[in-house]
Amino acid sequence: MPQQPFLKGIQAYWDALGQPGQPPELGESRIDAFVDLLHVTSSAAHGFRLLETLESTYAGMAVGDSSRPWRLHWALQVGEVEPFIVSDLDGLIFLADTIADPEGKHRVYTLKDGMRGDLEFADLTDALRWMTAQVRHAKGELDDAKLQDIQSEASALLDDEWEKGPTSALYIVEELLDTPLFEAWDAISRGQWPLVESDGSKASVDREDGWQRRLSLWLTRRFLATRSLELPEEIGVSDMDAIHRSLVDHLIDFEQAIHAGDVPRIVDQAAAGEDAKLAKMAVEWVERHDSWRTAASVPAPDEQDDYADEPPPFQHTPFTRKLLHALSGSLDRMVEQGELELDPDRKDALLIELVTAGSDARSIKHMLKKLTATLVDSEHVEEIYPSDGQIQDRLKEDLGG
């Protein structure tokens, strides 16, 4: 695409910042040149600058440190965007897509408090025009009305087909932010797991631009739904760039910890690391993990024990307590509406049976199926009249799914 408007935009921005002479030689591609420009002008008054993202985001996410934006910076890195900011617009993060759209343009988005912002640009040239106006406005050379006029002309509403799926960088970032990877780490330390519904989609294995970030989103979603990692046969880890290989390595470590019941390597490393806060939180993570593992380990009853045939007491977690409370209300409503006949004295035993079945589910859909099958087949139930599908609908409604 024509370079002249882009080069003029670079010069105009350079001049607005009061930089002497001509800009230095910048990167060959448009996105590289844009990033280099932000780097060499970062110290100028009112200038935009690249956002320094946190390193080793997985350690902070694993131990549950919410005081730093680990999750956001992880999503930005995996989403393959170049984030930049300006001190005059506190809290607003600009995201330049490093992958060009079908017209060869690099779109620019904004995030505010982790949510999509209103200010967007269809290309770097448009972004540079507005950035130049913003600098001049901050220096008192442009009034509010003129800045608004330029913003109206330069910005765009990005809502075409490109933005409706994983071709879009913003779509990737937003979807990564919505995944409960952060919460899964806390949950596994307590013997729980967030319920994530698999969409059943297959990984796209084409090698078109942006394929790695699309694959990383798919891998993250699928891992959270199934607790297992499986790369498509056509893709090898060596085919992926460092940021995406790091995600695969992280999920492999997570999977091994889940199925072996061990403390994950990344938590052990954080506990022994130089970051005092992460080390403290890692130790607390291990203590939580050891606590529920110990509670779940009930010794076999003595052969001479008169109560050897009785099951061990159910070990509750915060999740199972919530599930038990919701199921209790659901059973009461089914009894009241004549859908279920149940001896009140058998209700507690039925609840434990249901919670035991539901707590090990892989997803919401899987949990509903297990709960329904358990309820229908339970010896504690005298009669149940709705169909399996109706029972699942009832449970889904009562459990907030």
| pLDDT 10s digits, 210-235 | 999 999 999 999 999 888 898 888 88
- Position 195 confidence tier, pLDDT thresholds 50, 70, 90: confident
* pLDDT beyond 50 at 308: no
Same domain as 150, residue 14: yes
Same domain as 41, residue 155: yes
Domain enclosing residue 347, as ranges: 318-398
Give SS3 for 222: helix
Beta strands, E only, 25-105: 49-50, 81-85, 92-97
Final residue in a domain of this structure, among 146, 164, 182? 164
Same domain as 124, residue 18: yes
* pLDDT beyond 80 at 205: no
Output the pTM of the full model. Answer: 0.74
Provide the Cα torsion 217, 219, 222, 225; round to 10°. -80
- Position 299 confidence tier, pLDDT thresholds 50, 70, 90: low
Burial of 209 per CB tally in 10 Å (0-12, 13-18, 19+): middle
The torsion region of residue 341 among left (phi > 0), alpha (psi -120 to 50) and beta comes to beta
- Position 307 confidence tier, pLDDT thresholds 50, 70, 90: very low
- Position 362 confidence tier, pLDDT thresholds 50, 70, 90: low
Closest C-alpha to 245, from 85, 101, 368, 78: 78
Q: How far apart are CA 285 and CA 267, in angstroms?
A: 8
Phi, psi of 361 (to 5 degrees): -70, 150
Encoded tokens for 109: 């988005």
Same domain as 138, residue 61: yes
Closest C-alpha to 122, from 168, 155, 163, 152: 155
pLDDT in tens, 282-293: 999 999 988 877
Same domain as 390, residue 283: no
Structural domain total, the chain: 3
Same domain as 53, residue 126: yes
Q: What percent of the chain lies above the pLDDT cut of 70?
A: 90
pLDDT at 303: 45
* pLDDT beyond 50 at 311: no
Same domain as 151, residue 28: yes
Higher pLDDT, 61 or 190: 61
Asked, for residue 85, whether it belongs to a domain, the answer is: yes
Same domain as 158, residue 20: yes
Cβ atoms < 10 Å from Cβ of 59 = 23
Mean pLDDT within 329-352: 88
Phi, psi of 277 (to 5 degrees): -70, -45
Asked, for residue 343, whether it belongs to a domain, the answer is: yes
Asked, for residue 49, whether it belongs to a domain, the answer is: yes
Same domain as 153, residue 63: yes
Q: How far apart are CA 33 and CA 8, in angstroms?
A: 13
Same domain as 390, residue 273: no
